Amino acid sequence: GAVVSQHPSRVICKSGTSVKIECRSLDFQATTMFWYRQFPKQSLMLMATSNEGSKATYEQGVEKDKFLINHASLTLSTLTVTSAHPEDSSFYICSATTVGAHYEQYFGPGTRLTVT
């Protein structure tokens, strides 16, 4: 149980275009979803927290107009990187938690974004 999927697993886009990443909880209802990014050999940095049906809460330094997060249902959250630049190239990972999971977060497999 507690499976989280992400799509796509890998995407290459041109500078200036937008990219959408989907995060789905497959076998549970995710009350809260989180978006992280990870640079090589570094820790996971929390970007934003989203609850179904409400606006995402962004961490300090994360541009909400650049990283659009939509959490339209209890099983789906999307992250859209708008007007992507090469410095946005990174590994993006989502996680989800549910009511009975205490503090455990269940992570998706991640999306490797490369902006050329």
Partner 1 sequence: DQQVKQNSPSLSVQEGRISILNCDYTNSMFDYFLWYKKYPAEGPTFLISISSIKDKNEDGRFTVFLNKSAKHLSLHIVPSQPGDSAVYFCAASSSGSARQLTFGSGTQLTVLP
Residues 15-54 interacting with partner 1 (rule: CB under 8 A): 32, 34, 41-44, 46, 49
Of 83 and 112, CB closest to partner 1: 112
Tell me how far, at minimum, the Cβ of 53 lies from partner 1, in Å. Answer: 15
Residues 49-108 interacting with partner 1 (rule: CB under 8 A): 49, 57, 91, 93, 95, 97, 102-108
Is beta strand 90-97 parallel, antiparallel or unpaired with respect to 67-73?
Answer: unpaired
3-state SS string over 2-58?
CCEEEECCEEEECCCCCEEEEEEECCCCCCEEEEEEECCCCCEEEEEEEECCCCCEE
Tell me how far, at minimum, the Cβ of 83 lies from partner 1, in Å. Answer: 26
Q: Which distant-in-sequence residues (6+ apart) come within 8 Å of 102 by Cβ? A: none
Contact between 110 and partner 1 (CB under 8 A)?
yes
Classified as helix, coil or strand, 76 is strand
Which residue ranges make up the site for partner 1 (CB under 8 A)? 4, 6, 32, 34, 41-44, 46, 49, 57, 91, 93, 95, 97, 102-110, 112
